[in-house]
Structure formats: structure tokens, C-alpha cells
């Protein structure tokens, strides 16, 4: 795979390229975007060839996901990438990761029950937590850009009646990979206080440090929601999966998607892309991680210390969490400069819970990334 290929995505109804004005306002459609968390790379050839073959078949009737080709691919992926043992019976299809979390919370909680999560956090979490009493744990950043949680406050919250901990693993937007020791401490607290641990592991494959799925450590209270869509750049093909070892909760989940919401008929392209990617595309993930790692190094060399910027390389994801507090610029002023002087669209950290950060998507060609680096420099120059 040549990740340096520049692929024109304009005119494809692409959220990142065709709808910039939705996020950045009228007159911004010509900015170079580094925004929503998808990549500008083509998916692996094995996935593309499978899609072409299915399209050429020409019949697109109803399809099923509940078979060993699909569930076995997921089970085998977890084992070969992390040594995690998953039973096929634990796996269910779901339309999306956020749908899975929303439904799991609905099945576990009553309105205004307490849910705990970390901040800064993925903005999708903010929206789905609205019906509940959100108990937020502030991640603390050290001088090296590493983030730590506060287990004392977590336990205090559990004592106050928190019933679910919503974990992002690896963490978006900070890019933190949770250590086995951290996960073990959290899991033990969840078991002690009878708290469900829902772990969003959609970024689990794009890593520079070993990721441990929570189900490798616990199947009593832990649940995984995930999808190959971030790893293989296939979100528009549809579908995700949830891994629920707890039989009673799993049966409630599957019954709801089938008999209440009527969304258990899988998008066939999502099913086939999952099977192809997980069975045949390990090599592609390894090449992707190497390329992303080199892109991170480039951004750090160019921007760390530049006019007060602080740049650390995240442990996971293709998203850089860049600190601009040292520039002395106000939040709105920096965003205006990025748009008007730098001609780049970059997500403000404000929507994730830290206004003095920007989230730079480096899942793109080196040529495009250069425009982003130069745009940030232009924005800071007087």
C-alpha cells in the first residue's frame, strides 16, 4: 500500500472534504481539512476486491450476520492481535458503536442513574450521556504529555452509586493506551462495586504501544464495543459489533435490535468488509501504523516548541492532541487564524473538554500533512 497516494475525495459526499462549512462556517469550503476521524487512505485491496465481487453479483437482498464466517473473523482477530480469547456466542452485530453504547446504557440504567467516564472525551459520548447523571473523571497530563486517571475519585464515585463506567480504550482524544495495571485496577473496582465496564475499543488497532482488550482481563462485568471501520477506513460500509459475555444482558440486547428497533439485518458490505479485513489484512495494519508513526514524528519535529506549541506523540489513534496554551492566543483567536491565515480546518479541543488543544488528524498523505503543518505555522506568524 502506498500511503503517499493523494486521492481526491471531493464530490463523493465526504463529510471531511465536502461539508467543511457545517463545522467551520460559511466561506470555509476551500480549507484543507484535518477534522473528522476517518482517513484519506484507500482501504486494503482485499476489502475492495470483496466489495467489487459482491456488487457484480447484483442482488442485494436481506442478509444475516449470525454465522461463524462473521463472528469467527472477529474472534480470531482478537486472538491473533492480542491473545484475547473470545467466544463466538458473545458477539452481536450492531448498526454502530454509539448505538451499542446507547442501547447497553438503556438496558442497564434508569434515567438519571450515574455513569462515569473520563474527560477530555470523545464528543459522541457527551451526547449519549445526556439522559443520565454523568460523573466525569479529569485525566491529568504530566510534563511529558502522558495522561493518568484518579482511582481514588473513581472509587468515591462508585460508592456514590455509579452503575456504569464508560471507557474509551485507547482514549480519544488524548491517544492514551491503558496499561494492564490500570485496567486491572479499574476492573477490580468495577467487580467490587458491581459496576458494568463498557469499553469502546474502536481505535484498538492503530497503536504504538501494546493495547489490551478489557475482555482479556475480565468477563464478569466487562463489555467491548468496536468496529473495524477506524482501522481499515470503512465507516460508510456500515455496521459494528458488541461483545457481551453476560448472557442475560446479551439476550436483551439482541432481542431489542431485532424485535424493537428492527435493525438486526446487517449491511452486507459491513459484514463482508469485516470478514475480509480481519482474515487477510494484518499486514496492512502493520504498514499503516508505521506510516502514521512517521507522520507523528514529522509533526513533532516541525511544531514542538514552535511559537509556544507543545506536541507529544500519542500512544494510539491517528489523532494528535496539540497544546497551544503557550502561544498566548485565545481559543477563538487561534481558530480564526487557522481558518483565515493557515487555510486549514482543525478540530478545536473545546468540544472534547480542553479548549487549549487542537485535534489534528494525520490519517492522510504526507503531502496533505505538510499543508497542515505549514497552515499551523502561518496561523501563528504575525
Verdict on whether the full-model pTM lies above 0.85: yes
pLDDT for 325 equals: 96
Per-residue model confidence (pLDDT) at position 195: 98
pLDDT digits (tens, 9 = 90+) for 64-91: 999 999 999 999 999 999 999 999 999 9
16 touches 35 (CB < 8 A)? yes
Q: Which residue has the cell 428497533?
A: 261
Which residues are registered as beta bridge partners of 96? none
How distant, in Å, are the alpha carbons of 170, 301, 313 from that of 294? 19, 11, 10
Q: What is residue 124's predicted lDDT score, i.e. its pLDDT?
A: 92
Q: Write down the domain spans for the chain.
A: 15-43+282-380, 61-280
pLDDT of residue 143: 81
Give domain 15-43+282-380's CATH number out of 2.60.40.420, 3.10.290.10, 3.90.1150.10, 2.40.30.60: 3.90.1150.10
pLDDT at 145: 85
Please give the Cα distance from 154 to 165 (Å, whole number): 9
Which residue positions in the chain have pLDDT lower than 50?
none
Helices (H), the chain: 15-18, 21-24, 45-57, 68-82, 97-108, 123-128, 151-159, 180-192, 229-232, 247-259, 268-280, 282-303, 331-340, 366-380
The pLDDT of residue 144 is 83
Domain 61-280 sits in CATH 3.40.640.10? yes
**pLDDT, position 112:** 86
Amino acid at each position: 500500500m502506498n500511503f503517499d497516494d493523494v486521492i481526491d475525495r471531493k464530490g463523493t459526499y465526504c463529510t471531511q472534504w465536502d461539508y467543511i462549512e457545517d463545522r467551520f462556517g460559511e466561506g470555509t469550503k476551500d480549507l484543507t481539512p484535518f477534522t473528522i476521524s476517518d482517513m484519506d487512505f484507500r482501504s486494503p485491496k482485499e476489502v475492495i476486491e470483496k466489495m467489487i465481487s459482491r456488487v457484480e453479483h447484483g442482488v442485494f437482498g436481506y442478509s444475516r450476520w449470525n454465522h461463524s464466517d462473521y463472528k469467527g473473523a472477529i474472534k480470531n482477530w482478537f486472538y491473533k492481535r492480542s491473545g484475547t480469547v473470545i467466544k463466538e456466542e458473545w458477539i452481536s452485530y450492531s448498526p454502530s458503536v454509539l448505538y451499542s453504547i446507547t442501547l447497553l446504557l438503556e438496558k442497564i440504567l434508569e434515567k438519571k442513574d450515574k455513569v462515569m467516564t473520563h474527560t477530555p472525551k470523545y464528543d459522541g459520548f457527551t451526547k449519549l450521556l445526556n439522559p443520565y447523571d454523568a460523573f466525569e473523571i479529569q485525566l491529568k497530563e504530566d510534563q511529558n504529555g502522558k495522561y493518568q486517571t484518579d482511582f481514588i475519585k473513581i472509587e468515591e464515585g462508585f460508592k456514590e452509586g455509579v452503575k456504569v463506567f464508560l471507557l474509551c480504550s485507547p482514549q480519544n482524544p488524548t491517544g492514551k493506551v491503558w496499561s494492564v495495571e490500570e485496567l486491572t485496577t479499574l476492573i477490580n473496582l468495577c467487580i467490587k462495586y458491581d459496576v458494568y465496564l463498557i469499553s469502546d475499543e474502536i481505535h484498538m488497532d492503530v497503536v504504538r504501544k501494546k493495547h489490551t482488550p478489557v475482555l482479556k482481563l475480565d468477563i464478569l462485568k466487562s463489555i467491548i464495543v468496536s468496529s473495524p471501520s477506524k482501522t481499515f477506513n470503512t465507516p460508510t460500509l456500515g455496521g459494528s459489533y458488541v461483545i457481551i459475555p453476560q448472557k442475560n444482558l446479551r439476550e436483551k440486547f439482541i432481542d431489542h435490535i431485532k424485535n424493537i428497533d428492527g435493525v438486526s439485518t446487517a449491511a452486507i458490505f459491513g459484514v463482508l468488509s469485516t470478514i475480509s479485513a480481519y482474515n487477510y489484512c494484518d499486514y496492512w495494519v502493520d504498514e499503516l501504523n508505521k506510516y502514521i508513526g512517521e507522520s507523528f514524528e514529522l509533526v513533532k519535529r516541525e511544531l514542538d516548541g514552535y511559537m509556544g506549541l507543545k506536541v507529544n506523540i500519542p500512544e494510539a489513534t491517528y489523532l494528535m492532541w496539540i497544546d497551544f496554551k503557550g502561544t498566548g492566543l485565545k481559543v477563538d483567536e487561534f481558530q480564526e487564524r487557522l481558518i483565515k491565515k493557515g487555510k486549514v480546518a482543525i478540530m478545536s479541543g473545546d468540544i472534547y473538554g480542553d479548549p487549549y488543544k487542537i485535534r489534528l488528524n494525520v490519517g492522510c498523505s504526507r503531502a496533505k500533512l505538510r499543508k497542515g503543518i505549514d497552515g499551523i505555522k502561518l496561523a501563528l506568524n504575525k
